[in-house]
Amino acid sequence: MGSVRMTQITALVLRAVAAGYRYGFDVMEACDLPSGTAYPALRRLEKAGLLESSWETAEDAHAAGRPRRRTYVVTPSGVNALAEAEQKLAEARRLLGHLPPAPTVEA
């Protein structure tokens, strides 16, 4: 098990899985990411132990009339990591909130 650098994309993907999107393509669509970005992020998260994947049973898949799909769920350390990431985000928002509003740029 390695560690993963929590980027915007990995955090987004992790959050989507935590929200209950189980399949790779569902995650991709939920995050509005191209598949070539979403998948490597899933791989990285799984390698770091924040996600866990398993395969649907053949019966379930058969009942749904399609090939079996791989499902992803968040591990306990994934839950922690997500909480940590969200806390950092809240902190960043709070700090930004103390600053006077930035001048808007005319398009």
Contact 18, 74 (CB under 8 A): yes
**Nearer residue to other proteins within complex by CB, 24 or 78:** 24
72 contact partners, CB below 8 Å, separation of at least 6: 17, 22, 23, 24, 27, 42, 46, 51, 52, 53
Q: Is there binding between residue 67 and other proteins (CB under 8 A)?
A: yes
Question: What residues numbered 68-97 form the site for other proteins, per CB under 8 A?
Answer: 68-70
d(CA 59, CA 50): 28
Q: Residues 7, 37, 57, 80: which binds other proteins (CB under 8 A)?
A: 37
Q: Which is nearer to other proteins, 20 or 76 (CB)?
A: 20
Q: Which CB sits closer to other proteins, 65 or 100?
A: 65
